[in-house]
Structure 1
Amino acid sequence: RGTPGVECLSPQVLTGDNGLTLIENAPWGVVASVTPSTNPAATVINNAISLIAAGNSVIFAPHPAAKKVSQQAITLLNQAIVAAGGPENLLVTVANPDIETAQRLFKFPGIGLLVVTGGEAVVEAARKHTN
Protein backbone atom coordinates (compact mmCIF):
# COMPACT_ATOMS: atom_id res chain seq x y z
CA ARG A 1 0.00 0.00 0.00
CA GLY A 2 1.56 3.25 -1.14
CA THR A 3 1.07 6.92 -0.58
CA PRO A 4 -2.30 8.18 -1.84
CA GLY A 5 -2.15 10.03 -5.14
CA VAL A 6 -4.42 11.04 -7.98
CA GLU A 7 -6.60 7.97 -7.46
CA CYS A 8 -8.00 9.77 -4.40
CA LEU A 9 -9.35 12.58 -6.59
CA SER A 10 -12.74 11.02 -7.18
CA PRO A 11 -15.43 12.85 -9.15
CA GLN A 12 -18.62 14.07 -7.49
CA VAL A 13 -22.04 14.70 -8.97
CA LEU A 14 -24.48 17.12 -7.39
CA THR A 15 -28.11 17.26 -8.45
CA GLY A 16 -30.90 19.51 -7.39
CA ASP A 17 -33.48 22.03 -8.51
CA ASN A 18 -30.85 23.93 -10.50
CA GLY A 19 -29.69 20.94 -12.54
CA LEU A 20 -26.62 18.76 -12.47
CA THR A 21 -23.09 19.74 -11.47
CA LEU A 22 -20.07 17.54 -12.13
CA ILE A 23 -17.02 18.19 -9.98
CA GLU A 24 -13.99 16.42 -11.35
CA ASN A 25 -10.67 17.16 -9.69
CA ALA A 26 -7.71 16.89 -12.00
CA PRO A 27 -4.02 17.77 -11.96
CA TRP A 28 -2.96 21.28 -12.98
CA GLY A 29 -0.18 19.91 -15.19
CA VAL A 30 2.97 21.98 -14.87
CA VAL A 31 3.17 24.01 -11.66
CA ALA A 32 5.58 26.89 -11.00
CA SER A 33 6.74 26.89 -7.39
CA VAL A 34 8.63 29.86 -5.96
CA THR A 35 10.36 28.95 -2.71
CA PRO A 36 11.89 31.13 0.04
CA SER A 37 15.33 31.50 1.57
CA THR A 38 14.10 30.88 5.12
CA ASN A 39 13.17 27.19 4.82
CA PRO A 40 14.17 26.21 1.28
CA ALA A 41 14.68 22.45 1.51
CA ALA A 42 11.54 21.89 3.58
CA THR A 43 9.43 23.94 1.17
CA VAL A 44 10.84 22.19 -1.91
CA ILE A 45 10.22 18.76 -0.35
CA ASN A 46 6.71 19.58 0.86
CA ASN A 47 5.65 21.20 -2.41
CA ALA A 48 7.15 18.36 -4.44
CA ILE A 49 5.37 15.64 -2.48
CA SER A 50 2.02 17.45 -2.49
CA LEU A 51 2.11 18.46 -6.14
CA ILE A 52 3.38 15.12 -7.46
CA ALA A 53 0.80 13.23 -5.39
CA ALA A 54 -1.85 15.30 -7.17
CA GLY A 55 -0.42 14.35 -10.57
CA ASN A 56 1.61 17.44 -11.46
CA SER A 57 5.17 18.22 -12.49
CA VAL A 58 6.98 21.21 -10.97
CA ILE A 59 9.32 23.95 -12.11
CA PHE A 60 10.98 25.43 -9.03
CA ALA A 61 12.23 29.00 -8.83
CA PRO A 62 14.05 29.15 -5.49
CA HIS A 63 15.19 32.30 -3.74
CA PRO A 64 18.66 33.16 -5.09
CA ALA A 65 20.19 32.79 -1.62
CA ALA A 66 18.82 29.23 -1.44
CA LYS A 67 19.81 28.14 -4.95
CA LYS A 68 22.32 25.41 -4.05
CA VAL A 69 20.35 23.73 -1.26
CA SER A 70 17.18 23.84 -3.37
CA GLN A 71 18.94 22.32 -6.37
CA GLN A 72 20.36 19.57 -4.16
CA ALA A 73 16.91 18.80 -2.71
CA ILE A 74 15.44 18.63 -6.23
CA THR A 75 18.25 16.31 -7.37
CA LEU A 76 17.67 13.95 -4.43
CA LEU A 77 13.91 13.97 -4.96
CA ASN A 78 14.31 13.19 -8.67
CA GLN A 79 16.64 10.30 -7.82
CA ALA A 80 14.03 8.90 -5.42
CA ILE A 81 11.27 9.30 -8.02
CA VAL A 82 13.27 7.41 -10.65
CA ALA A 83 14.28 4.71 -8.12
CA ALA A 84 10.57 4.19 -7.38
CA GLY A 85 9.80 3.80 -11.09
CA GLY A 86 8.71 7.35 -11.85
CA PRO A 87 9.77 9.49 -14.80
CA GLU A 88 13.01 11.45 -14.94
CA ASN A 89 13.00 15.20 -14.33
CA LEU A 90 9.49 15.39 -12.92
CA LEU A 91 10.95 18.23 -10.84
CA VAL A 92 13.13 20.87 -12.46
CA THR A 93 14.55 24.23 -11.43
CA VAL A 94 15.69 27.37 -13.15
CA ALA A 95 19.48 27.65 -13.46
CA ASN A 96 19.83 31.19 -12.12
CA PRO A 97 16.82 32.19 -10.04
CA ASP A 98 15.88 35.83 -9.59
CA ILE A 99 12.66 37.86 -9.51
CA GLU A 100 12.75 38.42 -13.28
CA THR A 101 12.90 34.68 -13.93
CA ALA A 102 10.03 34.12 -11.51
CA GLN A 103 7.99 36.78 -13.30
CA ARG A 104 8.62 35.04 -16.63
CA LEU A 105 7.31 31.82 -15.10
CA PHE A 106 4.24 33.64 -13.80
CA LYS A 107 3.37 34.70 -17.36
CA PHE A 108 4.35 31.49 -19.17
CA PRO A 109 1.26 29.99 -20.85
CA GLY A 110 2.25 26.38 -20.06
CA ILE A 111 2.00 26.93 -16.29
CA GLY A 112 -1.27 25.65 -14.83
CA LEU A 113 -0.81 26.84 -11.24
CA LEU A 114 1.45 29.14 -9.21
CA VAL A 115 2.55 28.06 -5.72
CA VAL A 116 4.44 30.96 -4.16
CA THR A 117 6.05 31.01 -0.73
CA GLY A 118 8.08 34.07 0.13
CA GLY A 119 8.14 37.70 1.03
CA GLU A 120 5.77 40.46 0.09
CA ALA A 121 7.56 41.40 -3.15
CA VAL A 122 7.40 37.96 -4.75
CA VAL A 123 3.85 37.32 -3.57
CA GLU A 124 2.72 40.66 -5.00
CA ALA A 125 4.50 39.89 -8.28
CA ALA A 126 2.61 36.59 -8.49
CA ARG A 127 -0.73 38.27 -7.72
CA LYS A 128 -0.29 40.57 -10.71
CA HIS A 129 -0.31 37.53 -13.00
CA THR A 130 -3.29 35.64 -11.59
CA ASN A 131 -6.94 35.87 -12.46
Structure 2
Amino acid sequence: MENNDSPTTPEDNDFCAALANRVHDLTPLWEEHMNDPIDEPLPYIFMSDVARWAEANAVEHEDTVLQILSILNDGYLHGQGDVPNLIRVGFGESILIDTPLVPLLTGELRKWHNLDFGLNN
Protein backbone atom coordinates (compact mmCIF):
# COMPACT_ATOMS: atom_id res chain seq x y z
CA MET A 1 0.00 0.00 0.00
CA GLU A 2 1.45 3.36 -1.02
CA ASN A 3 1.56 6.13 1.55
CA ASN A 4 0.88 9.44 -0.21
CA ASP A 5 1.47 11.35 3.04
CA SER A 6 5.09 10.21 3.24
CA PRO A 7 7.50 12.78 4.70
CA THR A 8 10.26 11.43 2.46
CA THR A 9 11.02 12.89 -0.93
CA PRO A 10 12.06 11.19 -4.16
CA GLU A 11 15.35 13.12 -3.96
CA ASP A 12 16.08 11.65 -0.52
CA ASN A 13 15.34 8.14 -1.71
CA ASP A 14 17.38 8.59 -4.89
CA PHE A 15 20.34 9.97 -2.94
CA CYS A 16 20.32 7.04 -0.50
CA ALA A 17 19.99 4.49 -3.29
CA ALA A 18 22.88 6.12 -5.17
CA LEU A 19 25.01 6.17 -2.01
CA ALA A 20 24.41 2.46 -1.43
CA ASN A 21 25.14 1.77 -5.10
CA ARG A 22 28.46 3.67 -4.98
CA VAL A 23 29.55 2.28 -1.59
CA HIS A 24 28.85 -1.43 -1.75
CA ASP A 25 29.39 -1.93 1.98
CA LEU A 26 26.20 0.10 2.50
CA THR A 27 24.09 -1.95 0.09
CA PRO A 28 22.87 -4.40 2.78
CA LEU A 29 21.72 -1.48 4.96
CA TRP A 30 19.75 0.05 2.08
CA GLU A 31 18.25 -3.32 1.11
CA GLU A 32 17.14 -3.80 4.71
CA HIS A 33 15.28 -0.49 4.54
CA MET A 34 13.80 -1.31 1.16
CA ASN A 35 12.50 -4.62 2.54
CA ASP A 36 10.95 -3.05 5.63
CA PRO A 37 7.38 -4.31 6.17
CA ILE A 38 5.92 -0.80 6.00
CA ASP A 39 6.76 -0.86 2.29
CA GLU A 40 8.33 2.59 2.29
CA PRO A 41 11.98 3.65 2.15
CA LEU A 42 13.10 5.43 5.30
CA PRO A 43 16.01 7.63 4.19
CA TYR A 44 16.50 9.43 7.51
CA ILE A 45 16.76 6.14 9.38
CA PHE A 46 19.05 4.79 6.67
CA MET A 47 21.34 7.82 7.01
CA SER A 48 21.43 7.33 10.78
CA ASP A 49 22.44 3.71 10.17
CA VAL A 50 25.14 4.96 7.77
CA ALA A 51 26.48 7.20 10.57
CA ARG A 52 26.60 4.26 12.97
CA TRP A 53 28.29 2.10 10.30
CA ALA A 54 30.86 4.84 9.63
CA GLU A 55 31.59 5.23 13.34
CA ALA A 56 32.05 1.49 13.77
CA ASN A 57 34.29 1.21 10.69
CA ALA A 58 36.27 4.48 10.82
CA VAL A 59 39.48 2.71 11.82
CA GLU A 60 39.34 -0.62 9.98
CA HIS A 61 37.77 0.71 6.77
CA GLU A 62 38.97 4.30 6.73
CA ASP A 63 39.13 4.52 2.92
CA THR A 64 35.49 3.47 2.61
CA VAL A 65 34.43 5.88 5.34
CA LEU A 66 36.32 8.71 3.61
CA GLN A 67 34.50 7.84 0.37
CA ILE A 68 31.16 8.06 2.20
CA LEU A 69 32.10 11.40 3.76
CA SER A 70 33.13 12.80 0.38
CA ILE A 71 29.80 11.80 -1.16
CA LEU A 72 27.91 13.28 1.80
CA ASN A 73 29.84 16.56 1.69
CA ASP A 74 29.04 16.85 -2.01
CA GLY A 75 25.38 16.08 -1.35
CA TYR A 76 25.31 18.61 1.47
CA LEU A 77 26.56 21.34 -0.87
CA HIS A 78 24.87 20.34 -4.12
CA GLY A 79 22.01 17.99 -3.24
CA GLN A 80 18.57 18.61 -4.68
CA GLY A 81 15.48 19.34 -2.60
CA ASP A 82 15.66 17.97 0.93
CA VAL A 83 18.99 16.13 0.49
CA PRO A 84 21.13 18.66 2.43
CA ASN A 85 18.69 18.41 5.36
CA LEU A 86 18.70 14.61 5.09
CA ILE A 87 22.49 14.65 5.47
CA ARG A 88 22.48 17.18 8.34
CA VAL A 89 19.75 15.50 10.34
CA GLY A 90 19.93 11.85 9.32
CA PHE A 91 23.72 11.55 9.29
CA GLY A 92 25.15 14.61 11.05
CA GLU A 93 22.94 14.54 14.13
CA SER A 94 23.55 10.81 14.57
CA ILE A 95 27.30 11.20 15.06
CA LEU A 96 28.52 11.03 18.64
CA ILE A 97 30.85 13.73 19.95
CA ASP A 98 33.78 11.41 20.72
CA THR A 99 34.14 8.69 18.11
CA PRO A 100 36.89 7.63 15.67
CA LEU A 101 34.74 9.10 12.88
CA VAL A 102 35.03 12.71 14.11
CA PRO A 103 38.69 13.28 13.08
CA LEU A 104 37.78 12.14 9.55
CA LEU A 105 35.03 14.75 9.15
CA THR A 106 35.81 17.56 6.72
CA GLY A 107 34.00 20.37 4.96
CA GLU A 108 30.34 20.93 5.69
CA LEU A 109 30.06 17.80 7.81
CA ARG A 110 32.82 19.07 10.12
CA LYS A 111 31.17 22.50 10.32
CA TRP A 112 27.78 20.94 11.11
CA HIS A 113 29.25 18.60 13.73
CA ASN A 114 31.03 21.49 15.44
CA LEU A 115 27.88 23.64 15.35
CA ASP A 116 25.73 20.78 16.63
CA PHE A 117 28.03 20.24 19.62
CA GLY A 118 28.88 23.91 20.20
CA LEU A 119 32.53 23.46 19.24
CA ASN A 120 34.78 25.98 17.51
CA ASN A 121 35.30 25.50 13.76
- Confirm or deny a common fold (TM above 0.5): no
Name whichever structure is richer in strand by fraction. Answer: 1
Give the TM-score of the pair, scaled to structure 2: 0.32
Structure whose CA Rg is larger: 1
